[in-house]
Amino acid sequence: MKVTINELDTFVSIVDEGTISQAAEHLGVTVSAVSRALSRLEKKLNTALFRRTTRRLELTQEGEKYLARVRSILSDLEDAEDMMVKNKKVPSGKLRIDAATPFMLHVIAPLIDKYSNAYPQIDIELVSNESLVDLLEARTDVAVRIGELKDSSLSATSLGLSQIRILASPAYLKKHGTPKNVEDLAHHQLLGFNSLEKLNDCPIYDAANNLLHIHTNIKADSGETLRQLALCGTGIVCLSDFMTYQDIQKGDLIPLLVPITIKMQQPINLVYYKNRKLSERVSSFIEFLKAEVMP
């Protein structure tokens, strides 16, 4: 049978404290527990480690040699534990992040250099999916979800809300004119999604007081594709601020029908599995992104 760490600790405590009873008090165990541990150790080693006297225990020659090695072993173990604790406090390892292409391109990618410099021991993998993925199946640590959450097995950290706006490029407006009301949109080229019809709802009401729903002959499954079409002057699009904010600031896309635009905001969340204890690397990314996106 192999010697245990508990037996080694007991042996050193007996030496340091001088007696079995004092060692038991130091270790917070019974005297009999210390005696049994010492007996097991001597039996495993097939040698006596102590000479028993009436007042105290004295190390045998073999015991003295063994003590030096044991102290070295226990010291190395303590150093190893300290190293692991320190390593746990410094996030490291692989971090796999999933997000739809627009959010990846316009929010996450521009921040990766800063995050990587702050946490150089983390290996980052970025994955873009236009549809929802199973985090476990895709070996994903954390994902961005835009819209209402439905999966109850996920924990979520909010990154805020993103307003949807009706937009067109200056080139398109120069060529086709600027719509003044909802009715005017019927005479313009609209751009829409072909994946989820709800994404084709615009933040304005039609004549029947319903949300305007886009019907168009030009559709795409990616918001980034629609953004590029709008920038090229192909048509009018409804997109979220997180992917068009810079375009609006630079004047590359112009918000339309602003006075009648209603509040239509998409929730943005970081999600991860509830039943997993968050690793330091996942926690570091969540806190970093929150600080950058929601200063």
Tokens coding 238: 């409804």
Beta bridge partners of 122: 93
Domain check: are 145 and 287 in the same one? yes
Domain check: are 64 and 205 in the same one? no
Q: Look at residue 277 and tell me whether its pLDDT is greater than 80.
A: no
Kind of pairing, strands 265-273 and 142-146?
antiparallel
Domain check: are 171 and 260 in the same one? yes
Tokens coding 207: 């004549």
The pLDDT score that the predictor gives to residue 148 is 85
The pLDDT score that the predictor gives to residue 227 is 97
Contacts of residue 44, defined as CB under 8 A and 6 or more positions apart, other chains included, come to: 1, 2, 3, 7
The pLDDT score that the predictor gives to residue 205 is 92
| CATH number of the domain bearing residue 241 | 3.40.190.10
Which domain covers residue 61, as residue numbers?
A: 5-89
Write down which residue in 38, 65, 89 finishes a domain. 89
- Tens-digit pLDDT profile for residues 59-102: 999 999 998 898 888 878 877 776 676 666 778 888 999 998 99
- Helix H segments across 20-94? 20-27, 31-45, 61-89
Domain check: are 155 and 271 in the same one? yes
- Count up the domains in the chain and report the number: 3
Domain check: are 172 and 259 in the same one? yes
- Tens-digit pLDDT profile for residues 231-250: 999 999 999 999 999 999 99
CA distance 1 to 41: 10
Q: Which residue has the higher pLDDT, 17 or 112?
A: 112
- Tens-digit pLDDT profile for residues 150-193: 766 778 899 999 999 999 999 999 999 999 999 999 999 999 99
Domain check: are 149 and 184 in the same one? no
The pLDDT score that the predictor gives to residue 80 is 78
Phi, psi for residue 119 in degrees, rounded to 5: -130, 70
| Residues 206-213: contacts with CB under 8 Å, at least 24 apart | 206/182, 207/182, 207/183, 211/264, 212/182, 212/185
Q: Look at residue 275 and tell me whether its pLDDT is greater than 80.
A: no
CA distance 241 to 173: 20
> 3-class SS at 176?
helix
Domain check: are 230 and 242 in the same one? yes
Write down which residue in 45, 70, 89 finishes a domain. 89
Domain check: are 46 and 170 in the same one? no
